[in-house]
Amino acid sequence: MSTDSIDIAVHAGALSDGLCEQLAVVGQRGIAGFSDDRPVSASLVRSRLTNALTGAPPVLVLARADEELVGWCAVRHPEPHEARARLWGPVVDPRVRRSGLGSQLLREVTGLVVWPLVTTDVPLDRPGAAEFFAGAEWCVLDEVTVLRGVPLTGSMEIVGNGVGFDDLDGYVAAAARQFGGHPVGFAEATLRRWRDDARFQPEHLLLDPQTGSLLLALAQHNEASSELLLAELWAAPSARRPLIRAAHTVAARQGLEVVRAVTRDDPTPFVACGMTVMGRCLIFTPPGDR
């Protein structure tokens, strides 16, 4: 595909269903075969790019070749208690990689925002990805581990879930403060953000009331595959393995193909439950934003 005819433009306004589907298609192509390869759907794109508390659409730059979307880069507006806005991308169709399009998209979108930024997870096994941000003089802020597991049949042990739980808002906020280290305002808004995520289901919010611990799992699907993503584990040490095993049981009961975890913490509890480390990712921030 020639890059001569690529047009780059800022998208203003809400995200239509059709645009979310196009963003998802390019996103799926971009991660295929790497450690972060996962189902990317239009609903996932919408929930990740839209501000959960305000509903504000992202700052979004699109690249099209003969009206076909071949790249994009977005910044999700920071929520009231977030210190940084989240950068998604640049996402570039494999057919036009190494053309300079990613650098152009990054320059365009960062020039439109005034907030401190942080990237999503950048896999170390994706050729050139970390080098791309390092070359733009972005700095490593954090590192995360990606793990993969197989759904398992079994008992739920001591674990319950969020269905019909009294004062679920208070429970989640307390776990966010105690085990997640989040400030009060952010913690109190946590469940509201989760409920606005198209993937959220109360039965996937696994709880250990005895310790006040929780595990948030999110079911993701596309035409080719499905998974249960273990998104947050805010738990006492004694509750971590039971919650992780319970999530694998939930995945088996719902016929999901894979269990995936992304964690900034010690991955030992996940490995002890039979999960395999698939890769590691870096999170970058622009120079001056550390």
Tens of pLDDT along the chain (290 residues)?
A: 555 688 999 998 899 999 999 999 999 998 887 777 778 888 889 888 988 778 889 999 999 998 899 999 999 998 777 788 999 999 999 888 888 899 999 999 999 999 999 998 888 888 788 899 999 999 999 999 999 999 987 655 656 888 888 899 999 999 999 999 988 888 888 898 888 777 889 999 999 999 999 999 999 887 778 899 999 999 999 999 999 999 999 999 999 999 999 998 899 999 999 999 998 999 999 987 66
Q: Are 84 and 75 in contact (CB under 8 A)?
A: no
- Answer left, alpha or beta for residue 151, where phi above 0 means left and psi between -120 and 50 means alpha: beta
Peptide bond just before 209 cis, omega within 30 deg:
no
Q: Tell whether 256 and 168 lie within a shared domain.
A: yes
Domain final position from 120, 136, 166: 120
In a domain, 184, yes or no: yes
Domain that holds residue 96: 6-120
In a domain, 129, yes or no: no
Domain count, the chain: 2
CATH code of the domain containing 86 = 3.40.630.30
d(CA 39, CA 58): 21
Place of tokens 């839209």: 50
In a domain, 131, yes or no: no
In a domain, 157, yes or no: yes
In a domain, 134, yes or no: no
In angstroms, how far is CA 41 from the centroid of its own chain?
A: 12
In a domain, 143, yes or no: no
